Amino acid sequence: MLTVHHLRISQSERIVWLCEELGLDYELKLYSRREDNRLAPDEYKALHPMGIAPVIKDGDLILGESGAIIEYLVTKYGAGKLVPSPDSPDFPTHLFWFHHANGTFMTNGMMVLAAKATGADEIPDFVAGRGAKSWMMIEQHLGQQPWFGGQAFSTADIMMGFGLTTGRMFGGPDMADFPNLRGWLQRVGEREAYQRAMAKAEPGMPPMLG
């Protein structure tokens, strides 16, 4: 049995979304963040040595790290779904955005949060500059292609999704300046799998699609 451990308002919503897209049979366990420091509770930290979300259990396997979990589930249970074929011109595009999500975009967002947490008056230029380039590339890309993986929805959309939806609770630019991204948010919101995932992962919370 596959178990998805979801920490509320966290990147583990990606895994719930993927399971719904693939129609997998899975058990979902929800955990609330601590009131005092908004981190994962002790019972979540006990799941994996890293102590951060997401974590899955599949039989005897315990696996963390969003990208690894997504590649594991899609390779093992996806039957070729949600990843363009290596022969497709979309394949490198998909790879770029799949890895940009955590390799650069989320990392940069974490640096902004860390700078704010230390009470810095200003975000360092190199951090702000990288962030601005990511948001600009996102907007440009979505003006040319409907999905991060090119012509079809792919796991790159799921990887990028958290930082562009729920993750904006922690900060981000005004969506008024991002019409192409707003179009992508609308397309995401129309996906029944996304609707089911958010209803299960964040009951009572309207998805951040505006």
Binding positions for ligand GSH, rule: CB under 6 A: 7, 10-11, 39-40, 52-54, 65-66, 102
Nearest-approach distance from CB 121 to ligand GSH, in angstroms: 25
Residue closer to ligand GSH by CB (options 90, 157) is 157
Find the shortest distance in angstroms from Cβ 132 to ligand GSH.
22
Residue 159 and residue 165 in contact, taking contact as beta carbons nearer than 8 Å: no
CA distance 164 to 192: 18
Which residue, 114 or 136, is less far from ligand GSH as judged by CB?
114
C-beta of 65 vs 139, nearer to ligand GSH? 65
C-alpha–C-alpha distance, residues 84 and 138, integer Å: 19
How far, in Å, are 54, 70, 192 from residue 13 at the CA level?
8, 12, 15
Nearer residue to ligand GSH within complex by CB, 83 or 90: 83
Q: Measured from the CB atom, is 8 or 182 closer to ligand GSH?
A: 8
- The tokens for 128 are 């702000």
> Three-state DSSP class for 22?
helix
Q: How far is the CB of 94 from ligand GSH (least distance, A)?
A: 18
CB of 34: closest distance to ligand GSH in angstroms?
8
Closest to ligand GSH by CB, 150 vs 163, is 163
Task: Say which residue the tokens 């396997």 belong to.
Answer: 61
Rg (CA), the chain: 17
Q: Are the C-beta atoms of 69 and 79 separated by less than 8 Å?
A: no
Min CB(75)–ligand GSH separation in Å: 17
Tell me the C-alpha distance between 78 and 70, whole Å: 10
Please report how close the Cβ of residue 67 comes to ligand GSH at its closest, in angstroms: 7
DSSP state of 204: T
